[in-house]
Amino acid sequence: MSMRELVVLGTASQAPTRLRNHNGYVLRWDDEVILFDPGEGSQRQLLHTGVTATDLTRICVTHFHGDHCLGLPGIVQRLSLDRVPRPVAVHFPAGGAEYFARLRHASSFHETVELAVEPIEADGQRIGLRGVTLEARRLRHPVETYGYRLIEPDGRRMLPEKLAAYGIAGPAVAELLRVGHLDRDGRRVTRDEVSVTRPGQRFAFVMDTGLCDGVYALAEHADLLVIESTFLESEAALAAEVGHLTAAQAARVATESRVRTLVLTHFSQRYADPRRFADEAREHFTGDLVIAEDLATVPVPPRRVTSAR
């Protein structure tokens, strides 16, 4: 069975704490192993998880503030050190290309890995992966910032007992799917009679932004939403001023967007007790709520039974 889960490397904004490393997240999604926003220490945090540098297929950077990218030099050099044998894709805001170039060559090393660099040039840019689409949406922050989401299209799940009842097997199944129907013993069997919709899954990653259309576009119907909640409502004015979200805002977005599992992260070091984020979010969101901790693993929830869209 394919594996879809989030592995949290770090959860601190701005400054790390004794308990929280700078940002860093890995999404395992079937063949894709995507590293999001590697902050300082991400290489070492990986060691504490089951993910190796060699597993990584893609790196997505939301923006070039240090807590989201200062781990890049170490990760890039580690990919070469481990002689990763295939290209690793890298996405980041095109306006930050100069920062990326510096981070990529921050110090001398023997470069063997091939980075397939594909900057995000525009809001809504889509990148086709196997069986799923990666989409970037512009966010609202003092520097050019993009959030990301994965969108899997709805599919069909065949019902073996129905296929057997109509005596449909082997290549006929593929033909039925392709054509939409099949004539059997003088009777037309339709695709809908022997299969049901298999709802596609969605993952969204929303980091460092004030509330804006991009946040809602990314969060829409996400099975798993990872979203920054740097502040609590007591600092709502400050959050708006510096382009960040509060736990309450993030939770309301999740409810309005019909999110299933909500992961709050990127916490300001000013709050000692993470339960305060849970208490505030709970007032606005009744689904599965995770207050991210370093090295936690969060599974993408099982597929919806019917398509939400």
By CB under 5 A, residue 45 contacts Zn ion:
no
Q: How far is the CB of 277 from Zn ion (least distance, A)?
A: 16
Residue 40 engages Zn ion in binding (rule: CB under 5 A): no
For the question of residue 82 being annotated catalytic, the response is no
- Of 65 and 260, the one with the shorter C-beta distance to Zn ion is 65
Indicate whether 67 belongs to the interface with Zn ion (CB under 5 A).
yes
Q: Is the CB of 13 or the CB of 77 nearer to Zn ion?
A: 13
Q: Closest-CB residue for Zn ion?
A: 67
Which CB sits closer to Zn ion, 208 or 280?
A: 208
Instruction: Please pick, from the candidates 13, 229, 265, 268, the single residue that binds Zn ion as defined by CB under 5 A.
Output: 13
Q: DSSP assignment of the chain, as one string?
A: ---EEEEEEE-BSSS--SS--B-EEEEEETTEEEEE---TTHHHHHHTSS--GGG--EEE----SHHHHTTHHHHHHHHHHTT--S-EEEE-BGGGHHHHHHHHTSS-------EEE--B-STT-EEEETTEEEEEEE-BSSS--EEEEEEPPPEEEE-HHHHHHTT--THHHHHHHHHSEEEETTEEEEHHHHEEEEPPPEEEEE-S-BS-HHHHHHHTT-SEEEEE--B-GGGHHHHHHHT--BHHHHHHHHHHTT-SEEEEE-B-TT-S-THHHHHHHHTT--SEEEE--TT-EEEPPPPPSS---
Residue of 31, 37, 55, 67 with catalytic role? 67
Work out how close the CB of 20 gets to Zn ion at its nearest, in angstroms, rounded to a whole number. Answer: 12
Give, as ranges, the residues between 196 and 215 that touch Zn ion (CB under 5 A). Answer: 208
Which region, judged by CB under 5 A, interacts with Zn ion, from 64-72, 104-112, 118-126, 283-291? 64-72
- Give me the residues that bind Zn ion (CB under 5 A), please: 13, 67, 208
**Residues designated catalytic:** 67
